[in-house]
Amino acid sequence: AQRVTQPEKLLSVFKGAPVELKCNYSYSGSPELFWYVQYSRQRLQLLLRHISRESIKGFTADLNKGETSFHLKKPFAQEEDSAMYYCALNSGGSNYKLTFGKGTLLTVNP
Amino acid sequence: DTGVSQNPRHKITKRGQNVTFRCDPISEHNRLYWYRQTLGQGPEFLTYFQNEAQLEKSRLLSDRFSAERPKGSFSTLEIQRTEQGDSAMYLCASSSGRYNQPQHFGDGTRLSIL
């Protein structure tokens, strides 16, 4: 069965510090992975996806098939990065239904 | 385009009542998804439409749940004989049919069962 694990429910860092939000997955097929973010009082929105290999708001994530991981990283955290972050796996083939992790609440302190 | 729209934003009802939620996807999107999110959990997939066809339903979707998308535009999710365990945030998302296009989420409908 498909599964996404985000081991940290809460993560707190100081402004300017590096941040890494962990995501591990289990999936028998070829994975397609996403990071979604939910800022306070806003809707869930896509942050980035592995297939794009892009950096959004300074965040990057690399798919490591050997370790079955898709960790989200940013070298210098900003206060506006404080939000709930969800890692998600396309587990539905062409249907593109998403399997989400439980999320990590990131707090960036001044 | 205001994105995916869901109504109502909040619904409070007594156990045993029926409730219906509406989702209006982004206009050119032919794929529509319903998810449920409970406290401390990520969204969980419920069902998926491509145009008006309901192509997949999760085992989470009991017989009391029914979803429709009659003309391939808006969708409704109905819960009959609501139970305490139905209390959750119900999220709708839509995407285009093009390869690997992301899902865009609405604000959700928060259901509280008294």
pLDDT tens per residue across span A29-58: 888 899 999 999 999 999 998 888 788 899
- CB contacts of B106 in chain A (<8 Å) are 43
Does A100 score more than 70 pLDDT?
Answer: yes
CA of A97: which chain B residue's CA is closest? B45
> For chain B, percent helix, then strand, then coil, each to nearest 5?
5, 50, 50
**How many beta carbons lie within 10 A of that of residue B5, not counting itself?**
14
A81 neighbors A104 (Cβ within 8 angstroms)? no
Does A95 score more than 80 pLDDT?
Answer: no
Q: What's the pLDDT band for A104 if we cut at 50, 70, 90?
A: very high
B114 neighbors B13 (Cβ within 8 angstroms)? yes
CA A63 distance to own-chain centroid:
11
Spatial distance between the Cα atoms of A14 and B105, rounded to a whole number of angstroms = 30
* Facing residue for A92 by CB, picked from B35, B56, B91: B56
Does A7 score more than 70 pLDDT?
Answer: yes
Higher pLDDT, B99 or A7: A7
Residue A57 backbone zone (phi > 0: left; psi -120 to 50: alpha; other: beta): left
* Facing residue for B102 by CB, picked from A49, A97, A103: A49
CB contact under 8 A, A32 and B100: yes
Residues B60-92 as b/e (b if ≥16 CB within 10 A, e otherwise) read: ebeeebebebeeeebbebebeebeeebbbbbbb
Taking the Cβ of residue B98 and every Cβ of chain A, the question of whether any pair is shorter than 8 Å is answered with: no
pLDDT in tens, B62-113: 899 999 999 889 999 999 999 999 999 999 999 987 766 889 999 999 999 9
Does B1 score more than 70 pLDDT?
Answer: no
CB contact under 8 A, B102 and A34: yes
